[in-house]
């Protein structure tokens, strides 16, 4: 009689293999579905190793209310047992949630916030005071002022990468370079800086070049107050390995959201490689 292949017994799969599978599911799928399948899967879902990187990239058309995502994020943070090193949140984060995360995540190295309109600059700057290990901060379409940037820089001495991306909003003349000045004064260890849609002028750019001598990459696309020319062009090319700027010609072609999607693609392997010891 011909032999037939037996169906794999999921309950007998090695724990490490189950972790790999769960990583691919994502935080919401694990908390809302996978952990409910059986006792063994619930046990796997509680392993802190599964929650070192949390991606809560909410879709704008998600059926879940913001309150649901806040609750799910708290559950995920609790399960990290203090081992959280990176968290990505889109659309729903609040000052209170940031405070909650910072209270139990002193090892956090990367914080990425996109379209979080309920966050205040004060709430963000107050949060990072408890995140001394932070190395990467990405802020997209989320309210933050120059004074908040300076507080962040002064309280995060290990900050290596900072992205502040927002549409051009026509600040008053006296405040055009406020972000650039704050970065130059408080973030001397930066290696990578991205300021999309910023109001800074050539003078602000020079402040950054003076105050951040270790910069390897600088992206100032959509900063239409910049007239980068002459000696300033030569300085940028000489001092910065990867320098990006833009003109009116590519304004309509560039979509700010792509920058976030390139970072937060839902791939655990990318995060694991980036944050591995």
pLDDT per position as a tens digit, 236-272: 989 999 999 875 444 434 443 343 344 343 344 444 4
pTM: 0.81
User: What is the Cα–Cα distance from 241 to 269, expressed in whole angstroms?
Assistant: 27
161 has which bridge partners?
136, 192
Would you place residue 204 in the very low, low, confident or very high pLDDT band (cuts 50, 70, 90)?
Answer: very high
The rounded percent of the chain whose pLDDT value lies above 90 is: 49
Contact between 207 and 178 (Cβ < 8 Å): no
- 195 has a pLDDT exceeding 70: yes
User: What is the Cα–Cα distance from 31 to 126, expressed in whole angstroms?
Assistant: 29
Bigger pLDDT: 33 vs 96: 96
Range scoring the smallest mean pLDDT among 36-45, 68-77, 145-154, 176-185: 36-45
Bigger pLDDT: 45 vs 130: 130
pLDDT per position as a tens digit, 30-69: 888 876 677 777 887 788 888 999 998 766 556 567 888 8
Contact between 169 and 146 (Cβ < 8 Å): no
- 77 has a pLDDT exceeding 90: yes
CA angle at 50 for the pair 47 and 52, rounded to the nearest 5°: 115
- 74 has a pLDDT exceeding 90: yes
Query: Hey, where are the domains in the chain?
Result: 160-263
Would you place residue 143 in the very low, low, confident or very high pLDDT band (cuts 50, 70, 90)?
Answer: confident
User: What is the Cα–Cα distance from 29 to 3, expressed in whole angstroms?
Assistant: 36
Mark 14-38 as b/e (b = at least 16 C-beta within 10 Å).
eeeebeeebbebbbbebbeebbeee
Range scoring the smallest mean pLDDT among 45-49, 168-172, 189-193, 216-220: 168-172
């Amino acid at each position: 009689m011909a032999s037939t292949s037996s169906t794999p017994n999921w309950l007998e799969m090695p724990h490490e293999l189950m972790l790999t599978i769960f990583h691919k599911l994502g935080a919401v799928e694990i908390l809302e579905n996978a952990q409910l399948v059986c006792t063994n899967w619930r046990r796997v879902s509680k392993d802190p190793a599964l929650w070192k990187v949390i991606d809560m990239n909410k879709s704008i058309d998600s059926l879940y209310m913001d309150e649901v995502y806040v609750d799910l994020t708290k559950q995920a943070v609790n399960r990290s047992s203090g081992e959280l090193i990176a968290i990505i949140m889109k659309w729903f984060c609040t000052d209170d949630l940031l405070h909650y995360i910072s209270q139990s995540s002193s090892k956090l190295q990367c914080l990425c916030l996109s379209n979080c309109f309920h966050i205040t600059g004060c709430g963000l700057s107050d949060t990072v005071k408890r995140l001394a290990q932070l190395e990467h901060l990405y802020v997209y379409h989320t309210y933050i002022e120059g004074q908040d940037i300076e507080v962040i820089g002064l309280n995060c001495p290990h900050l290596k990468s900072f992205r502040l991306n927002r549409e051009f909003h026509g600040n008053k003349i006296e405040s055009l370079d406020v972000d650039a000045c704050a970065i130059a004064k408080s973030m001397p260890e930066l290696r990578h800086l991205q300021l999309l849609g910023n109001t800074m002028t050539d003078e602000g750019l020079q402040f950054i070049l003076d105050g951040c001598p270790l910069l390897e990459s600088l992206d100032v696309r959509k900063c239409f107050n910049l007239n980068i020319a002459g000696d300033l062009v030569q300085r940028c090319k000489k001092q910065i390995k990867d320098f990006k700027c833009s003109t009116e010609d590519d304004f309509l072609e560039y979509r700010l959201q792509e920058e976030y999607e390139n970072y937060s693609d839902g791939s655990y392997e990318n995060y694991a490689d980036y944050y591995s010891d």
